[in-house]
Structure 1
Amino acid sequence: MTRTSPDSCPGVLRLHQAADGPLARVRVPGGRLEAQQLQALAEAAHELGDGNIELTSRANVQLRRVRDATELTARLETAGLLPSHTHERVRNIVASPLAGRVGSRADVHQLVPALDAGLLAAPRLADLPGRVLFTLDDGRGDVSGLGGDIGVHAVDADEFAVLLAGLDTGIRVSATDAVDVMLAAAHGFLDLSSGQWRLHEIENGVERLTDLLGLAARADLLKIAAIQDIPIGWLTQDNGLVSLGAGVRLGSLPARTAEFIAAVERPVFLTPWRSLVLADLEEWPAEQVVRVLAPMGLIFDANSPWLLVSACAGQPGCAKSLTDVRADVGAAVDSGRIQPDSATFNSDAPHSELVLPQPDPTSSDTPSAPVFEAGEVTVGERQHWSGCARRCGRPRGAVTDVVATPDGYRVD
């Protein structure tokens, strides 16, 4: 597959002209934000944007309705969130949020700075498409199933499976070599690409890139599945401290709430499920954080119906959307029409039960499918609401699609 247009992923230096105004996407390698960085984002969202920080499915952040792009650039540079003007859009690195703290085989967060530095140090890698995704999984399988282009998955503390296009290649490398192999794979992607945005779009891309790496497969293949395993609530770390997993309604974090989180002065890890983890707390401060932030809308209850839903931008943010999807989702949750099934949140369930074929986002609406008014939609499992048939932002794995049509919503 050869693209006919260049990758148009937004960044900070190249904004996306959304229907509601300019949108900036800020890369956050590994999802880690220091307190002062979160504070800088909160101030920028309040003073330069629409007052919210949007969390993305790659553990990055977005600011909408940006009024002064030059000022935003300066602020992010000062905060250390824009270390390069040439490579800013290629720093798409997702890591297991709880790695090194709660029940992981390896602390993959230790690899993030080296991988990021390696990307920034290679001028050629600035040519990577902004869609290319690097994944670092600590062995629990939470991010390997995201379908990254280039990834490693911990088999034990010092051995990693090499993943390409979300598939195990059978290649195993040490922790010491993991970053070098991922960077070599990034160069190999450019060698093979003729305009493609993702590795799976290159004909025989996995096999050809494996050959370029020159590393032999020597292990049975891991089964990689897309799972929904949002870390929510009180999470006791291996060292006795506490992490707090917090859901964010539809991934939109108000700037004022972000300021309160930053005031705790602990590292924050964004997750690919549009939630966050506040790490390294003593027990008493952790209790106070929950008392303050839960009334502000952060979700610490793993059975909250808000954790079942995701949505595209909808109106007024997207000109292609047929309705205000997020308002309709909120009404469905508030009215009790979305009820969580406890099995959805059972992280001990076999991951294979959560694997479903992904729909074709370009497929046309089915004329015979029943259509419902927004107030009639009732779904009891994980679901994604879309303002049109493109289904933007749809998460991987088992998801019921609630898709807007000119006549109402269709439930697939």
Structure 2
Amino acid sequence: MNYDSQPASSPATLAEARRSACPGLVRVVAARDGGLCRIRLPGGVLSAAQARAIAHAARTDADGTLELTNRANVQIRGVRAGQEAALTAALIAGGLGPANGVQTPANLCAADELRNLMLSPLAGLDPHALFDTTTLAAPLVAMLQNEPRFAALSPKFALLIDGGESLAALDHPHDIWLAATREGDATRFAFGLAGCPDDGATGSIAATQVQALIRALLHAFLDLAAPDQLRMRDVIASHGAAALLDAAQRHADFAIPTPQPAADDHAPANWQRPRVDLTRRLGAHALHANGDGYVGAQPPLARLDAATLDALADLAERHGDATLRITPWQGALVPHVARAALMPVLDALRALGLSVDAADPLARTIACTGSAGCAKSRADTKADALRLAPHLPPHVQAHLSGCERSCAAAHRAPFTLLAAAPAHYDLYERDASAAGFGRLVARHLTLEAAAHAIAQRAPEPF
């Protein structure tokens, strides 16, 4: 393998360019409602002890407000001025920092920001999955943190490893994604660049080659990336996928496949990941023949307080395996729940004020922080979402975004309300032929008018 090729930009230049306002464990970013700290959870796994450490830090060094993100992470909002270092230290002491023993603040910050690895919330739990991707998570994160050149990657550079679980986020774009597939008696991984499994695969590799492929693709990305090209889509747009794969081949000791003609019935481009039932993110569900399983819940608009997180930790310890799985739908699962405890845990989550049914209007409503916490937002989206949700037609999903950045939703929602002014929104409908949020339906609607317009366009319940 060749790691000596000359990159388009030096690691130092790219590392300088990657600096942004993206919050992290060390980089506590100022917001309208105080500091914002993002705690990355590779694979979304959060132990009960770690959950309690987050809750304690949120009470001690912030105002106690927490958020679950669409990358299965946890955020602490309202960090008090002057408490940033104490908050970071408390979280690291609670086992929430990088595991590679970095010492300096700069290295700690970089190592923290390189943990953007998403797995299914049922990784390692679903007996019908094709591959236990939890076995890949720790080696991949260690590779990202321990190879110095990868410090030049953007804090937003993201990886997805899908094991074929019955619950997975398939419409969330990633810089590199891999998905398990069965070919005869062997498990292989289809892979793609700058997209998601729904887009179709670029090629497929043996399961034993996953880490080596990702390493080669990362080096190829850094070989080709200009200082302002921080995501895979930027390099693909500039150089093309074929050039990226050619560059990756120079860093690999196995043949990296190139896209096959669509007419080939066995071509990876024709591979499609089986669909999943996303209603299973909420409620009580058996996974095993004896009825044992998990219970899923979602805090209203992704917000919860420290006391609720403590209560979730208690449930995980009393009825599960003392872990939680944070989901990319801004919710949480309590795994390893015995059959007899499924309904009691469901009732306990409901009593905490969490949604446990996908039919709940608030379980079908996404909203960013809004003007109460973000200076870029043109409306108080959280408050407006609470007003809008009861008026949504059954089964309809809506996304309220305070600006064009779409921080709360990585996917394109069926209906998006983009803030134009306080309590007024432009309405977009998902349309494969339109970029961005979709097709513009109407401008500057009140919430009441937006609800009426959505009801007119909503599909019939199935």
Instruction: Tell me the TM-score normalised to structure 2 length.
Output: 0.75
In structure 2, do the counterparts of structure 1 residues 95 and 211 end up closer, same or farther at CA, with 3 Å as the change threshold? same
Find the counterpart in structure 2 of residue 206 from structure 1.
Answer: 241
Greater alpha carbon shift after TM alignment, 252-261 vs 401-410:
401-410
Helix, strand or coil for the counterpart of 1:152? strand
Tell whether 2:117 aligns with 1:101. Answer: no
Q: Which amino acid is 1:238 matched to?
A: H
CA distance in 2, matches of 1:287, 1:187: 48
CA distance in 2, matches of 1:122, 1:5: 19
- Where has structure 1 moved over 6 Å in runs of 4 or more? 224-228
- Cα deviation, 1:276-319, whole Å, max 9, x if unaligned, reads 11111112333322222211112211211112111111121011
Helix, strand or coil for the counterpart of 1:165? strand
Tell whether 2:134 aligns with 1:134. Answer: no
> Once the 2 structures are TM-superposed, how far is the Cα of residue 397 of structure 1 from its aligned partner?
3.3
- Cα deviation, 1:121-142, whole Å, max 9, x if unaligned, reads 2122121101100001122583
> Once the 2 structures are TM-superposed, how far is the Cα of residue 391 of structure 1 from its aligned partner?
3.6
Unaligned runs of 5+ in 2: 1-8, 103-107, 250-255, 261-266, 429-462
CA contact (8 A) 2:204 2:268 kept: no
Q: Which amino acid is 1:319 matched to?
A: A
Find the counterpart in structure 2 of residue 229 from structure 1.
Answer: 278
Tell whether 2:212 aligns with 1:180. Answer: yes
CA distance in 2, matches of 1:389, 1:150: 24
Tell whether 2:240 aligns with 1:216. Answer: no
Q: Which amino acid is 2:187 matched to?
A: D
Find the counterpart in structure 2 of residue 298 from structure 1.
Answer: 354
CA distance in 1, matches of 2:177, 2:289: 27
CA distance in 1, matches of 2:111, 2:175: 17
CA distance in 1, matches of 2:386, 2:69: 19
Helix, strand or coil for the counterpart of 1:71? helix
In structure 2, do the counterparts of structure 1 residues 183 and 238 end up closer, same or farther at CA, with 3 Å as the change threshold? farther
CA distance in 2, matches of 1:178, 1:229: 27
CA contact (8 A) 1:154 1:160 kept: yes
In structure 2, do the counterparts of structure 1 residues 168 and 338 end up closer, same or farther at CA, with 3 Å as the change threshold? closer
Q: Which amino acid is 1:404 matched to?
A: A
In structure 2, do the counterparts of structure 1 residues 70 and 145 end up closer, same or farther at CA, with 3 Å as the change threshold? same
Find the counterpart in structure 2 of residue 160 from structure 1.
Answer: 189
Aligned length in residues? 370
CA contact (8 A) 1:199 1:205 kept: no
Instruction: Tell me the TM-score normalised to structure 1 length.
Output: 0.83
Tell whether 2:169 aligns with 1:143. Answer: yes
- Cα deviation, 1:229-270, whole Å, max 9, x if unaligned, reads 251111212364211111221111221111011113222111
Tell whether 2:274 aligns with 1:274. Answer: no
1:5-404 to structure 2, matched below 5 A, reads: 6-8=18-20, 9-67=22-80, 68-83=83-98, 84=102, 85=108, 86-102=110-126, 103-139=128-164, 142-156=168-182, 158-166=187-195, 168-195=200-227, 196-202=229-235, 203-214=238-249, 215-217=256-258, 219-221=267-269, 222-223=271-272, 229=278, 231-238=281-288, 240=290, 241-263=292-314, 264-265=316-317, 266-333=322-389, 336-341=390-395, 381-404=396-419
CA distance in 1, matches of 2:416, 2:401: 7
CA distance in 1, matches of 2:361, 2:341: 27
In structure 2, do the counterparts of structure 1 residues 41 and 228 end up closer, same or farther at CA, with 3 Å as the change threshold? farther
Find the counterpart in structure 1 of residue 253 from structure 2.
Answer: none
Unaligned runs of 5+ in 1: 342-380
CA distance in 1, matches of 2:123, 2:234: 30
Report sequence identity in percent.
33
Find the counterpart in structure 1 of residue 425 from structure 2.
Answer: 409
CA contact (8 A) 1:248 1:298 kept: yes
In structure 2, do the counterparts of structure 1 residues 226 and 397 end up closer, same or farther at CA, with 3 Å as the change threshold? farther
CA distance in 2, matches of 1:205, 1:49: 45
CA distance in 2, matches of 1:239, 1:122: 43
In structure 2, do the counterparts of structure 1 residues 173 and 388 end up closer, same or farther at CA, with 3 Å as the change threshold? closer
CA distance in 2, matches of 1:323, 1:227: 34
CA distance in 2, matches of 1:163, 1:61: 27
CA distance in 1, matches of 2:154, 2:277: 27
Greater alpha carbon shift after TM alignment, 177-186 vs 308-317:
177-186
Please identify the structure whose Cα radius of gyration is greater: 2
Q: Which amino acid is 2:188 matched to?
A: E
> Once the 2 structures are TM-superposed, how far is the Cα of residue 35 of structure 1 from its aligned partner?
1.1
Helix, strand or coil for the counterpart of 1:216? coil
In structure 2, do the counterparts of structure 1 residues 395 and 164 end up closer, same or farther at CA, with 3 Å as the change threshold? closer
Greater alpha carbon shift after TM alignment, 289-298 vs 385-394:
385-394
In structure 2, do the counterparts of structure 1 residues 323 and 216 end up closer, same or farther at CA, with 3 Å as the change threshold? closer
CA distance in 2, matches of 1:308, 1:397: 13
CA distance in 2, matches of 1:20, 1:173: 46
